[in-house]
Amino acid sequence: MNHVSWTSILIGLALFLFGIDYLSLSLQELSPTRLKNLLAKCTSSTFKAILIGCFITCIIQSSSATTALTVSLINANLMTFSQSIGIIMGANIGTTITAFIVGFDLFQYASFFLIIGAFCLLFSNHPKIKGLAQILFGLGCLFYGLELMSMHLEAITKLPEFMKLVTLFTNHPILAMLGGAITTALIQSSSAIIAIVQQMYHLKAISLYVSIPYIFGCNIGTTITAFLSALKTNSSAKKAAFFHFLFNVIGTTFFMIFLTPFYHLFLTFHFYIPISPRLQLAFIHGFFNIVTTLLIFPFYKHIIALIESCFKKNC
In a 10 Å sphere around its CB, with 0-12 CB exposed, 13-18 middle and 19+ buried, how is residue 154 labelled?
middle
pLDDT of residue 296: 94
pLDDT attached to residue 36: 60
In contact, 221 and 195? CB cutoff 8 Å: no
Whether 270 is in a domain gets the answer yes
User: What is the pLDDT at residue 1?
Assistant: 41
Q: What pLDDT is attached to residue 192?
A: 82
**Residue 183: inside a domain:** yes
The residues, any chain, with a CB within 8 Å of residue 177's CB and separated by 6 or more, are 213, 214, 216, 217, 220, 252, 256
- Domain assignment present for 1: no
Task: Give which of 248, 240, 216 is closest to 68, Cα–Cα.
Answer: 240
Q: What is the DSSP secondary-structure string of 115-160?
A: HHHHHHHHH---HHHHHHHHHHHHHHHHHHHHHHHHHHHHHHHTSH
Q: Tell me if 167 is assigned to some domain.
A: yes
Of 255, 159, 167, 271, nearest to 210 by C-alpha is 167
- The count of residues in the chain is 315
Can you give the residue range of the structural domain that contains 197? 6-312
Secondary structure (3-state) at 79: coil
Alpha carbons 77 and 71: distance in angstroms, whole number: 10
Tell me how many domains the chain contains: 1
The amino acid present at 151, given as its one-letter code, is M
88 vs 84: CA distance, rounded Å:
6
Q: Is the dihedral of CA 73, 78, 81, 82 positive or negative?
A: negative
Each residue's pLDDT, cut to its tens digit, for the chain (315 residues) gives: 456 677 887 888 888 778 777 776 776 665 556 656 666 666 668 888 898 888 888 877 677 777 777 877 787 777 788 888 998 999 999 888 888 887 776 667 777 888 888 888 888 888 778 878 888 888 788 778 877 777 777 777 777 887 788 888 888 999 999 999 998 888 777 888 898 899 889 888 889 999 999 999 999 988 887 777 777 778 888 888 899 999 999 999 999 999 999 999 999 988 888 888 999 999 999 999 999 999 999 998 899 999 988 887 665
Residues 6+ apart with CB under 8 A from 305: none
